[in-house]
Amino acid sequence: MNTILTVSNLTKKFGPLVAVNNLSFTIEKGNVYGILGPNGSGKSTTLGIVLNVVNRTAGEFSWFNGATTTHDALKKVGAIIERPNFYPYMTALQNLKLVCKIKEVPTAKIAEKLELVGLLDRKDSKFKTYSLGMKQRLAIASALLNDPEILILDEPTNGLDPQGIHQIREIIKKIASQGTTILLASHLLDEVEKVCSHVVILQKGVKLYAGSVDQMLASFGFFELRTSQEQNLITYLEKDVRFSSIKNEDGLITAYPKEDLSAEELNKTLYEKGIILSHLSKRKESLEEQFLTLTKNAKN
């Protein structure tokens, strides 16, 4: 496996406040990672540390298995942190040329990347004349100039209008589909759910979970059922050992299986028992539900 970033036992204290507490995770090439957590859970601090702008209190991190120094490794990384930061008095083109100089890459790709984010026709406008959405898109173009091994995005849709959010998400999906490793920090769960395959969940600087989205909870999803023979169904389900709990909300019956059970199989069994369903759907818990469960468990 190709490890891009290894973080081990990372800790950051701001005075008495522990922003990141003994955090460890690894980022492998080719996956799309989400760092999830409520505001103030240490997401940005963690990214700040690996990006060389925040000093760590304890612990280690290494880029590309420690083959290069951090600032050289960062030349192979594209990152956008919170707010797009450029020289306001310079045009988009001048700003990107400066970034090329810093990253030591040729300026040949500037036009291509501006095209990707739809800013090519505004390349000679000063950065200060840009709207927030355009600034954010310029930041993405800038982060892609070196065709990075990994793209790090911290709250990329913060403060944007719905159209801007949509544009940014489309760009992220496009980049992800090209096989670029992405690390996305966000507190917007649907955002992460839509693009990420793996998540790291933080709360108050402590890691609650790290792994693939699918395995986040050892859960087999749940069934939503509707029938005119409500009582029969409930009685049957309560007897069936394959189910752990049943909920009835205004005729919509939610059943949680204890083992892997397919919708076809359940439908067949119920039909044989003479229970005809008018509605059957098998669903996975949304990331939001899983996240809330996890953070609630951690609090108890």
Name the minimum Å distance from CB 261 to other proteins: 48
CA-based torsion, 155, 160, 161, 165: positive or negative: negative
Query: Distance (Å, rounded) from C-alpha 122 to C-alpha 125?
Result: 5
With beta carbons less than 8 A apart as the criterion, state whether 170 and 164 touch.
Answer: no
Name the minimum Å distance from CB 173 to other proteins: 23
Name the minimum Å distance from CB 74 to other proteins: 4
Task: Name which of residues 65 to 94 contact other proteins (CB under 8 A).
Answer: 69-75, 77, 79, 81, 83, 85-91, 94
Name the minimum Å distance from CB 91 to other proteins: 8
With beta carbons less than 8 A apart as the criterion, state whether 186 and 155 touch.
Answer: yes
Task: Name which of residues 119 to 158 contact other proteins (CB under 8 A).
Answer: 142
Name the minimum Å distance from CB 101 to other proteins: 5
Q: Does 99 interact with other proteins (rule: CB under 8 A)?
A: yes
Query: Distance (Å, rounded) from C-alpha 152 to C-alpha 166?
Result: 18
Residue (of 196, 177, 180) closest to 188 by Cα position: 196
User: Of the two residues 42 and 257, which places its CB atom closer to other proteins in the complex?
Assistant: 42
Query: Distance (Å, rounded) from C-alpha 283 to C-alpha 188?
Result: 21
Contact positions vs other proteins (CB under 8 A):
48, 51-55, 69-75, 77, 79, 81, 83, 85-91, 94, 97-99, 101-104, 142
